[in-house]
Amino acid sequence: MGRRHFGTDGVRGRVGEWPITPEFVLKLGWAAGKVLGGGEGGKVLIGKDTRISGYLFESALEAGLTAAGVHTRMLGPMPTPGIAYLTRTLHADAGIVISASHNPHHDNGIKFFSSSGQKLPDAVEAKIEAMIEQPMDSVSSERLGKVRRLEDARGRYIEFCKATIPSRMNFQGLKIVVDCAHGATYHIAPDVFEELGAEVVAIGVQPDGLNINDGCGATAPEAVRAAVLEHGADLGIALDGDGDRLIMVDHRGCIRDGDDILYVLACSRCRSGEMIGEVVGTLMTNLGLELALRAQGVGLYRVKVGDRHIMEHLVDEGWLLGGEPSGHIICLDRTTTGDGIVSALQVLAEMRETGQSLAKLCEGVEKFPQVLVNVKLGECPAAVILESSAVNAALAEAERRMMNGEGRVLLRPSGTEPLMRVMVEGRDPELVREMADSIADEVCGVCGGGH
């Protein structure tokens, strides 16, 4: 059976619209209990971010799992990577995250971790989808699952994060702005850095259920940039709503994205002799990072956009480091999934080990101008765009003018939103913008959308 409901990162959509409805999530919880729950008496963890709809879907999942005879441990607000960690260390059969990550509050989603703390392979998601199509039933009352809240989830995860850097290390003397996007890290990230000795200016730590990712966090790093400059901080850390993405800002106010962070971490691993294999990026990874890594003797291997594809290749090859420009960084030598707090700690550790600022550590990367245009698809299928002769002619013209090893052109549908993404990259910023707009205009002509 194909993946009808699962996208690139679980099931996601607008709250109240299928499949992000109470009745579907109830059935999803039951189906996941049947497939992932280890049979009756198994154990599944549920955590969430700070969206107001999290209460609704938490209850629906709990009911579905209970009907399947699976015991549930409720974590409350907890970063996605924290749920992955606890799933593994508590020897649960699975972990469930209620979050739409970097999306606005009106969206929500459900994603899963296996017992090893990693995202599910396609084949397992297909089994859950097949189970959803079956009539829902319930075990007898004496076999129903039981529910208990895990009171020390926050403390366990904080200690794990701190343990990913050398025990002798502290960050005394550093002033850090930490933007938690009013999301799941609001009661965790500031404490991690404070307990390690840093002076922390915390912003985005007053969630009200509606303000998650709203003008703050990794998707709006201008907020942390302004705070860094206002407070004279050494750097800024911007996390997204569920804590799996990281964008940083250096002391001069320069925003450092996932490509910059990957470069710093790759250089760190090379310096310490821990680097294994190549760095895994995506089709969106800047060509400047590829050239900078090559200068360090490290290759870059590109996969399709999405952290699941990065993870799959890292595991297949036995490599350690990968990520996306959006700030989803995977350090498999430290944890099992993308983790914004852990990634930030690795950068801070390299600053301490080398005595250099974040700005200095990033000097080896010269980014190519890159323009990304999002075109709203509306009801138009992505396949219609990709097969359009006018769109393909615009792509061919852009490739002719941008190539020769100094540019890239990419057209792809978003995996999480009804958008077609146009990306053009090259040395000449004016030509890059011209080509991106030209392709986007042709896409708009086909789908009737805007950009």
Residue 361 lies in a domain: yes
Q: Provide the residue type at 288 as one letter.
A: G
Whether the CB-CB separation of 212 and 53 falls below 8 Å is answered with: no
What mean pLDDT do residues 376-400 have?
92
Question: Quick one: pLDDT at residue 9?
Answer: 84
Instruction: Catalogue the active-site residues.
Output: 101
- Write the CB contacts of 382 (distance below 8 Å, at least 6 apart in sequence): 413, 420
Query: Distance between CA atoms of 176 and 233, rounded to whole angstroms?
Result: 6
- Write the CB contacts of 144 (distance below 8 Å, at least 6 apart in sequence): 66, 67, 69, 138
Same-domain status, 299 and 281: yes
Residue 123 lies in a domain: yes
Same-domain status, 27 and 144: yes
Residue 58 lies in a domain: yes
Question: Quick one: pLDDT at residue 4?
Answer: 81
Q: What is the pLDDT of residues 335-387, one digit of tens each?
A: 999 999 999 999 999 999 999 999 999 999 999 999 999 999 988 999 999 99
Domain range for residue 301? Answer: 257-342+355-367
Same-domain status, 79 and 90: yes
205 bridge partner residues? none
Boundary of a domain, candidates 254, 277, 301: 254
Q: What is the pLDDT of residues 291-337, one digit of tens each?
A: 999 999 999 999 998 898 999 999 999 999 999 999 999 999 999 99
- In three state form, how does the secondary structure of 53-114 look? CHHHHHHHHHHHHHHCCCEEEEEEECCHHHHHHHHHHCCCCEEEEECCCCCCCCEEEEEEEE
What pTM, to 2 d.p., does this model score? 0.91
Question: Quick one: pLDDT at residue 407?
Answer: 85
Split at pLDDT 50, 70, 90, the class of 1 is: very low
Split at pLDDT 50, 70, 90, the class of 403 is: low
State the Rg of the chain over Cα. 22
Query: Distance between CA atoms of 291 and 425, rounded to whole angstroms?
Result: 14
Query: Distance between CA atoms of 296 and 310, rounded to whole angstroms?
Result: 21
Which CATH number belongs to the domain containing residue 335 in this structure? 3.40.120.10
Boundary of a domain, candidates 229, 254, 279: 254
Q: Is the confidence at residue 3, as pLDDT, over 70?
A: no
Same-domain status, 122 and 51: yes
Question: Quick one: pLDDT at residue 405?
Answer: 61
156-173 core/surface letters (b: 16 or more CB in 10 A; e: else): bbbebbbebbeeeeebee
Same-domain status, 195 and 182: yes
Boundary of a domain, candidates 367, 402, 419: 367
Residue 67 lies in a domain: yes
Same-domain status, 235 and 274: no
Same-domain status, 43 and 118: yes
